[in-house]
Structure 1
Amino acid sequence: MTSRPARPARVALVGTGGIAGICHLPALRAERDRAELVAVMDVDGGRAKAFAAEHGVPAVHDDLDRMLAESAPDLVHICTPPSVHARQVVACLAAGAWVWCEKPPCRSLAEYDSITAAESEGGPYAAFVFQHRFGSGAVRLRELIAAGELGRPLVAQCVTAWYRDHAYFEVPWRGRWDTEGGGPTMGHGIHQMDLMLATLGEWSEVRAMAGRTDRRVETEDVSLAMVRFASGVMASVVNSVVSPREESYLRFDFTDASVELRHLYGYGDADWTYTPAPHVAADRAGIWPVTIRETPSSHTAQLAALLDAYERGERPSTSGDGARRTLELVAALYKSAFTGQPVTRGEIGPDDPFYHRMHGDVPGWAPEVP
C-alpha cells in the first residue's frame, strides 16, 4: 500500500451526457484541490468539444485508447451506457488509471469479474457509483447499529417507486437486455438495494417476481422480492418505473426503533425519521438522528471518499466484493423471478446462464404488454 504524490489527481470524463454535467462536474468542483479535470472523451466528437468549451477542459478526445495514452489520467469517470462499461473500465485499468463508473456497474456478474481480474493490488481499482452509502444519515445509522444502540434488526422495506414514461424508453439503448442489462431492478432500484445491503450486511436468499405491466420494453418494468439476510433479517423489495407518485423509501425495524428514509434521488439528514419503541426513554432516542456535520447523499460525498482511498492506495468500499454483492443480489432477483425458484447467495457461478446475462436467456418469462 503506497501513498500518492501530493498533487491533484488528473481526471478524465468518458461520456459527456447528462449525468456528467449534472453530477460529476459539481463533485469535481468541490474537490478541485485534489482532482483536476484534464480531458473529456465522447464518441460524439462534437458533443465532447462543446462540453469541453463550456467547462474549460483542455483536452478533447473521441477515442478512449488515444485519450488514455495522450492525457494519461490518474482517475477516469465512466458516464456511458451500461453495454460499454466493462470494456471501457478494463481498458482504463490496463492503462494504469483508477476508475469511477456509473451504475449499473456492468451487465452481468461475468463482466464484473472481468473487471476485478484487471485490477492490481494497491491499485488501480474500479469503483462504482453507489452514492447513497455516503450521506451522513446513512453513516450515522451504521454507527448506531454497530454500537447496538437500536437493538437487533428484524425487518426492512426497500422501495424504488419511480416513473419513466414511454418517451424515456425511446432512447435506443434503454429497456433492452443487451444494452442496458435490465430494467428498474438493474438501473434504478439498485441504488436503494445497495444502501439496504450497506446497512444490514450479507444477504442469503431471494424469492422474487418480475413483469412487464405497461412499458413496451424487453426488460421488466416492475419487480418484487423477499430477501433473507445472513443475520435472519427479512426484507421486502419493490422496484418500479410505472409509479406516478415517485418515492425512494427505506424502512428498518429494530427491537428498539423504526428508522425510515423518504426521498427521491438524494437525501439529507432531515429525510430520516427515528421512532423509538414504547420501552425506550425519550432522552436516549433524542440523540439517535444527530450528526456532527450534515453531508447529503451525492456524487460529491462519494468522490471525497474515493479520493481518500486513491491517495492511500487502498481499495474503495464500492469496488471488489463491496459492489459485487449488490450486483449479485440483482442477478439472484432476476433468476428467482424467471425460474420461480428461491436463489441463495453464491449459487450463480460461471456454469449458470444468469452469471452471463441477467435474464439467463429464459424465453417467454413475462407476457407481452396488453
Structure 2
Amino acid sequence: MIRVAVVGTGGISPMHIEGLLNFQNRCRIVALCDIYPEKAEGMKEKYKLDCEIFNDHQKMLSSGVKIDLVHICTPPYVHSEIAIYSMNAGCHVVVEKPMATCLAECDAMLEAEKKNGVVMACIAQNRFRNSIYKLKKIAESGIAGKIRCAHINSHWWRGHSYYDLWWRGTWEKEGGGPTLNHAVHHIDMLNWLEGELPKAVTALLTNTGHDNSEVEDLSLAILTYTDGSAASITSSVIHHGEEQGIELQCDNAKISAPWKIQAEISKENGFPVTGGNQALLNEIQYLYDSLPDLPYEGHTGEIDDILRALEEGTRPLITGIDGRKTVELITAVYKAGSRREWTVLPLQKDDPFYTFEGIQKEAIRFYEKKVSVENFKPDSITVP
C-alpha cells in the first residue's frame, strides 16, 4: 500500500485526489497540506478522507506520519522547494505542471532525485488521453510519413478576474502566463511527438486583455528542427471557445487531435485530386480504429502509471527529464519573445534565462498587478 500526501489543495488537487481514490487497493491518502489549512479540511470532508491535516510541508514530513509519495499541487514558484525537501526526506514525488519556474530549479530537482534514489514524475496528463495516445501511435507507425510541420493550438479563455488571485499574473509567483501554465501540456505533447527539442525558436509575447497581470496572455512561437521541419505554438487565454488541438502535417497525410485525417494525391499538373488519397485514408483510419482505448484517461491514467512504476520498480512514462525538456522549450519561447530574437537550443547554464533570478530580470512586465484576492470561492475549473 503506497501512502500518499497531497501538498496544495487548490483548484487542481481534486484531479489528484479523485485519481488516487480510483486505486484504493493500491494507495491511501494519509495527509493533506495547505498554507490555508481550512482548504485542506474542506477537501478532507468533501472526499471523506481519513488523513492528517498540515499547514506546512516540512512539519508534515517531520510529523511521524508515514509517507511514501508526495503529490505537489501548489503554485509553480514552490514546486522545486517542496519536491527537493520531500525527496531528501526519502519520498517519491509527483509534481504538477510546470515542473518548475526555471531550468536551474529543474536540475536541482533531478539531482535530488538521483542522490536520494527516489522517483520523480511530472504531470502531463494529456499523454493519457485516447486522442493523443492514438495520434502518437499513428505518427510512430510511419504510415503518414515524416512530420514536416506541426501546429499546436493551446487556446483557452480566462476572464479578467482570473489574474486577481494573489499568486497569478506575476513572474515571481506564477513564473509566466499561458505559455508556461496552459500550453505546458501541449508543449510536452509536441516534444513527445517530435522526439526531440527544436534547434531554434522565435516568438512574440503580448498582453491584450488582462491589465491586472504582469505576464503575457498570448504568445505565438515558431520552431525549427535540425531536419528542416517546423512547428508553431499558440499559447492563449484570450481565445473564446477554448478549442485546443494538434495538427501534424506529414509527408503523406495530415493527422490531428481531435482526430481528423486528410491525404492529398497529385494530378499531373501538381494540383490535388478531388477526394484525396482514399486508399491511404482508409488504411490510416483502420489502424486508428484498431488501437484499444486506454484503461484510464487524464490524471487518473497518469496516476495509474506512476503507481505501477513504484510497485514494479520501473520508471513512469513522464519523468523529470521530460518535465525539464518542456521547461527548456518554454524558457526558449520567453527568451526569444523578450529579446525579439531567435533563441538557439539547448540553453546553457551561463544563459541569463537559466535561473529564476535571470528570468525575473529580463522578462517583459506588461502591466503592474494592483488587485489581489487571497482566495476564490470553491468552484469548478477547466483543466489543460
Q: Under a length normalisation based on structure 2, what TM-score does the superposition of the two structures give?
A: 0.86
User: Alignment partner for residue 209 of structure 1, among 182, 189, 204?
Assistant: 204
Q: Which letter does structure 2 place at the counterpart of 1:166?
A: H
- The Cα offsets for residues 228-275 of structure 1, whole Å up to 9 and x where unpaired, read as 2344321111111112222111101112221122xxxxxxxxx32222
Deviations 1:274-301 (A, max 9, x none): 2234335154133132221245641011
296-305 or 336-345: which moved more?
296-305
Q: Which of the two has greater strand per residue? A: 1
1:95 to 89, 95, 105: 89
Q: What is the CA distance between 1:111 and its match in structure 2?
A: 1.0
TM alignment of 1:234-273, pairs within 5 A? 234-261=230-257, 271-273=258-260
Deviations 1:203-225 (A, max 9, x none): 22111110122212111111111
Contact 2:135/2:256, CA 8 A, preserved across alignment: no
* Aligned with 2:33 (options 41, 62, 67): 41
Amino acid at match of 1:234: A
Whether contact under 8 Å (1:136, 1:295) holds in the other structure is no
Given that 2:87 and 2:116 are in contact with CA atoms closer than 8 Å, whether structure 1 keeps it comes out as no
Aligned to 1:25: 17
Equivalent position SS for 2:350: coil
Name the aligned partner's letter for residue 286 of structure 1.
Q
Secondary structure of 1:16's partner? Answer: coil
The amino acid across from 2:326 in the alignment is T
2:158 & 2:260 partners in 1: Cα distance?
Answer: 28
CA displacement at 1:46 relative to structure 2: 2.3
* Contact 1:123–1:315 (CA under 8 A) maintained in structure 2: no
Give distance in 2, aligned partners of 1:179 and 1:234. Answer: 32
Extract unaligned runs of 5+ from structure 2: 265-275, 370-384
**Counterpart residue number, 1:356:** 355
Per the alignment, residue 182 of structure 2 pairs with 188
Q: 1:229 to 1:122 in 2, by over 3 A?
A: farther
Conserved in 2, the CA contact under 8 Å of 1:137 and 1:289?
no
Q: Which moved more, 1:354-363 or 1:66-75?
A: 354-363
Give me the whole-angstrom Cα distance separating, in 1, the residues matched to 2:202 and 2:159. 28
Q: Partners in 1 of 2:115 and 2:108 — Cα distance?
A: 15
Give the length in aligned residue pairs.
Answer: 351
- Residue of structure 2 equivalent to 1:275: 262
Q: 218-227 vs 231-240, which deviates more? A: 231-240
Q: How far apart are 1:366 and its partner, in Å?
A: 5.3
Alignment match, 2:288 = 289
Question: In the aligned structure 1, how far is the partner of 2:178 from the partner of 2:12?
Answer: 17
Aligned partner of 1:265 in structure 2 is none
Contact kept? 2:77, 2:173, Cα under 8 Å: yes
For 2:105, the equivalent position in structure 1 comes to 111
1:160-171 correspondence runs (5 A): 160-171=154-165
From 53, 60, 71, the equivalent of 2:53 is 60
Paired residue type of 1:18? G
Runs of 4 or more off by more than 6 Å in structure 1? none
| Contact preservation (8 Å) 1:183, 1:220 | yes
Confirm or deny: 8 A CA contact 2:152 2:186 kept in the other structure.
yes
Q: Which runs of 5 or more residues in structure 1 are unaligned?
A: 1-7, 262-270
